[in-house]
Homo-oligomer: A and B are copies of this chain.
Amino acid sequence: MQIAILLHPGLTALDAVGPAELLQRMPGNETVFVAREAGPVRNDQDNLSLVAGRSLAEVTRPDVVLVPGGPDVRATADDPVVQDWLRAVDRTTTWTTSVCTGSLVLGAAGLLTGRRATTHWLARDRLAGYGAEPTGERVVFDGKYVTAAGVSSGIDMALHLLGRLGGDDMARIVQLMTEYDPQPPYDAGSPDKAPAHLVDFCRTELATHVDPAG
């Protein structure tokens, strides 16, 4: 089994590394980091590069593909090479997945039309613009298309996928070995839970960090 994590310029590193860290622990799988060309890909904060080991041309039949997001995915969503690759590999994937605004890239490829899906909470309108039906759930399964909400949600998505791919106990072993027993000291991780004035602040001051075109 091959799991392909797409790296694209300006990605949010945790969108990729979070789920990859869990998925790659499944016995018998090869997890590869793939980009338009092999080599370093810069993150959204411009302080870290992740090195893709493979070019798109080298990864033609992954079983799972995962598209991370970033604050500005327009260039990736508009890149015909990336879009053609996504549509091509999607024909044979078991699971086609995204984290955060990675779903906008899948949407631009036409893969989420008419499907229930999710994205970063500040980008739901934009996801709807691609013909998807945005939900407020953290992880959304619609057929073989699996989308996760913002940034950290990819870790939860990975556990769901591990359960489907390798069974509940294998997923639990990975959860235990990565000590994923979350204990956040605040309860502000979704717009339904955070104080209203902070949600408003994010909407008015930080929305362009997620959707520059919005």
Q: Which residues of A approach B to under 8 Å, CB–CB? A: 12-14, 17-18, 20-21, 24, 30-33, 40, 45, 47-51, 53, 100, 120-121, 138-139, 149-153, 155-156, 159-160, 163, 168-169, 171-173, 175-186, 188-191, 193-195, 198-199, 201-202, 206, 209-210
Contacts and interface: CB of A to CB of B under 8 A. Distances in A.
Contacts of A47: 24, 30-33, 53
A120 to B, nearest CB: 7
A179 B160 contact: no
A194 B172 contact: yes
Copies per complex of this chain: 2
A176 B152 contact: no
Nearest to A138: B183
Q: Which 5 A-B pairs have the closest CB atoms?
A: A181-B189, A150-B179, A182-B182, A172-B188, A14-B21
